[in-house]
Amino acid sequence: MLLKIRPSRRVHSFSKTRHYQSKLFVWLVPLLAILLWLGYKEIKSYFVKPQVIFVLGGEPLREQFAAKFARDYPNIPIWVSGGTPEGYAKSVFTKAGIDWKRVHLDYQAVDTVTNFTTIVERFQAKGINSVYLITSDDHMLRARIIGEVVFGSRGINIQPVSVNTGRSPESVDKSLRDGARAIVWWATGYTGATIARQLKQPKN
């Protein structure tokens, strides 16, 4: 008598579960390491007084928030990377009572990674070792990961100041991707901005 042996559904289900757990573990380990590092850096940042208000462009709300925030810190300069056109930016800051001489606009950046890489050398040359980092709350994790690599490589601490938007956080994939790009920049000086723009372009 011949016996037909069929794979057990339970074994198949167990195999799928193990595969899912392994995949989840691969993502969780670097993410937890990053979060622990950011926590340590955030505690450390409170012992160093920021010398610059650093604003990441991308939406006018960030500059509007920065203008109000800057009123509480009248003696430190404001740097905006990749922000709104100069005319609009000037109206935002001057209406908030900010001396325009305090504001420095830089338009070299094309994305979040280059927000940091295009300006870090100037901050280092000016002896800056701590900044207030202003960006949207849903963008802050990615910005901090990049900033800790780029600015951290030059001994510049970051104190995050989030702009409340009510939006859901960005996907972890974006943070890990741009964190990897920041590490590549640290190792090679290459930001990968051109490749990143090509990947974002819709296929015909």
Q: Are 32 and 52 in contact (CB under 8 A)?
A: no
160 sits in which H/E element? strand 157-163
Specify the CATH number for 35-200; select among 3.30.565.10, 3.30.460.10, 3.40.50.150, 3.40.50.1980: 3.40.50.1980
167 pLDDT tier (thresholds 50, 70, 90): very high
Q: What is the pLDDT of residue 159?
A: 95
187 pLDDT tier (thresholds 50, 70, 90): very high
User: What is the Cα–Cα distance from 128 to 155, expressed in whole angstroms?
Assistant: 9
- Asked whether the predicted pLDDT for residue 32 surpasses 50, the reply is yes
pTM: 0.76
Task: Round the average pLDDT of the chain to a whole number and report it.
Answer: 85
Ordered alpha helix ranges (H), 46-78: 60-70
Lowest mean pLDDT among 17-26, 56-65, 77-86, 125-134: 17-26
In the chain, where are the structural domains located?
35-200
Q: What is the pLDDT of residue 203?
A: 40
Q: What is the percent of the chain with per-residue pLDDT over 90, rounded to a whole number?
A: 68
pLDDT in tens, 64-108: 999 999 999 999 999 999 999 999 999 999 999 999 999 999 999
Cα of first residue to Cα of last residue in the chain, in angstroms, is 61
- Asked whether the predicted pLDDT for residue 42 surpasses 80, the reply is no
48 pLDDT tier (thresholds 50, 70, 90): confident
